[in-house]
C-alpha cells in the first residue's frame, strides 16, 4: 500500500519552507537551515525568519555541504527533545553540526512507531525480537526497538555518532544495546558467514559514505548486495524490514522493486514519502521509505 506518512511529534514543528530553506522548531528553539527540496517561495518574510530563528546555518562558499551556525545570544549549542507515543518515551540530544544536521531526522518518528509496534507484537506473541539497525546514526530506531523490549545491534561507521546514540539511550532510561563501530556492508557480510538471524532490520543508507576503515559506500553500487545479505539475515517468518532513501530522485517504487527482488513478496508492505507540512500548508518531502512485515 502506498501512503504518505507524517508523525505526530510534539517537540517538532515545520514553521515555514521556501527559497531552498526551512524554518523548524525543535523543542523551545527554532533553527534555519538549507533545504534543497523547498523549491517554492516562503510564506513568511525575511524579517520574520530572522526574528524567529535562534540558530541559522550559513553555508561555506567553498563547500556544498559544510558551513557554520550563527546563534542568537543565549542559545545553547546542545539541547534535548522528547518523542512520546503511548509507552514509548524517547529523549534525544540535539547538536549543531558543520554539515547542517542537528542529530535528529524528525520525519523518521513515523518509522519509530512502526518498529516499536512490530517489536511489541513479536514480544507479546512469545518471540524475543532481535533487531539490526544499519547506518544507525544517533539511534532513533534503536531506541524505539529497545523501548519495545527488543535485543538491538546498532551499527554505524562513525565512533562519535555511536557515542551520541549511547547518550540518547541513557537519556531515555534504556540500556543493553550492542554497539558496533564498523562499515555496515562489511558487518552484514560477516553476519551472513556466521549464520546469524534477526527479526527486524532497519536500513538508513546515505548516498555516499565512508566506513570506519575508509571503505567506500555508493548507494547505487552497493544497495543490491546489502539487500541480498540482509535477505539471508532476516527470519523467514514473524519479521520486518524498514528501508529509507534520502537521495533526491530515488523513489519509493525503486525501493520496493529492489527489496522485493531480494526478499520476495511480503505479507504486508507499505511505501511512500515521509513529510511534514508547514504552517501555510506547504508539504515538504523529506525522504522515501519502504517497509514490510511477514
- Give pLDDT tens digits for 142-174: 999 999 999 999 999 999 999 999 999 999 999
Q: pTM value?
A: 0.95
165: part of which helix (H) or strand (E)? helix 159-171
pLDDT, position 248: 66
Closest Cα partner for 72 from 131, 21, 30?
30
CA distance 72 to 256: 44
Note whether 238 and 256 are within 8 A (CB). Answer: no
Q: What is the pLDDT of residues 174-209, one digit of tens each?
A: 999 999 999 999 999 999 999 999 999 999 999 888
Residue 84, Cβ neighbours under 10 Å: how many?
13
Return the percentage of the chain with pLDDT > 90, whole number. 90
Dihedrals phi, psi of 15, to nearest 5 degrees:
-80, -50
What confidence category does residue 82 fall into, taking pLDDT thresholds of 50, 70 and 90? very high
What mean pLDDT comes out for the span 34-38? 95
pLDDT, position 1: 84
Report whether pLDDT(210) > 90: no
Report whether pLDDT(64) > 80: no
pLDDT, position 289: 97
Question: For the domain bounded by 103-293, which CATH number is listed?
Answer: 3.40.50.150
Closest Cα partner for 32 from 43, 40, 18?
18
Note whether 11 and 36 are within 8 A (CB). Answer: no
Q: What is the pLDDT of residues 126-139, one digit of tens each?
A: 999 999 999 999 99
Parse the chain into domains and list their residue ranges: 12-78, 103-293
Note whether 224 and 230 are within 8 A (CB). Answer: no
Question: For the domain bounded by 12-78, which CATH number is listed?
Answer: 2.60.40.1180
pLDDT, position 89: 98
CA distance 168 to 181: 16
Amino acid at each position: 500500500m502506498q501512503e504518505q506518512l507524517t508523525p505526530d511529534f510534539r517537540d517538532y514543528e515545520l514553521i515555514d519552507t521556501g527559497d531552498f530553506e526551512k524554518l523548524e522548531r525543535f523543542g523551545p528553539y527554532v533553527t534555519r537551515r538549507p533545504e534543497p527540496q523547498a523549491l517554492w517561495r516562503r510564506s513568511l518574510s525575511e524579517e520574520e525568519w530572522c526574528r524567529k530563528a535562534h540558530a541559522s546555518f550559513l553555508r561555506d562558499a567553498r563547500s556544498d555541504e559544510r558551513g557554520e551556525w550563527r546563534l542568537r545570544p543565549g542559545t545553547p549549542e546542545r539541547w534535548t527533545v522528547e518523542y512520546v507515543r503511548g509507552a514509548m518515551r524517547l529523549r534525544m540530544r540535539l547538536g549543531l553540526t558543520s554539515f547542517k544536521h542537528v542529530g535528529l531526522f524528525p520525519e523518521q518518528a513515523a518509522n519509530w512507531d512502526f518498529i516499536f509496534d512490530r517489536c511489541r507484537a513479536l514480544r507479546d506473541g512469545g518471540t524475543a525480537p532481535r533487531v539490526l539497525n544499519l547506518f544507525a546514526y544517533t539511534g532513533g530506531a534503536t531506541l524505539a526497538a529497545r523501548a519495545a523490549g527488543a535485543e538491538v545491534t546498532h551499527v554505524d561507521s562513525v565512533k562519535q555518532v555511536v557515542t551520541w546514540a549511547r547518550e540518547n539511550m541513557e537519556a531515555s532510561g534504556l540500556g543493553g544495546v550492542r554497539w558496533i563501530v564498523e562499515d555496515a556492508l562489511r558487518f552484514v557480510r560477516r553476519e551472513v558467514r556466521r549464520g546469524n538471524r534477526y527479526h527486524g532490520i532497519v536500513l538508513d543508507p546515505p548516498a555516499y559514505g565512508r566506513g570506519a576503515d575508509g571503505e567506500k559506500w555508493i548507494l547505487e553500487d552497493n544497495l543490491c548486495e546489502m539487500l541480498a545479505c540482509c535477505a539471508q539475515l532476516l527470519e523467514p517468518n514473524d519479521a520486518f524490514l524498514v528501508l529509507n532513501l534520502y537521495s533526491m530522485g530515488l523513489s519509493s517504487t525503486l525501493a520496493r522493486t529492489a527489496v522485493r527482488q531480494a526478499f520476495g513478496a511480503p505479507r504486508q508492505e507499505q511505501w511512500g514519502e515521509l513529510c511534514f507540512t508547514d504552517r501555510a500548508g506547504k508539504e515538504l518531502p523529506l525522504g522515501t521509505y519502504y517497509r514490510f512485515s511477514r
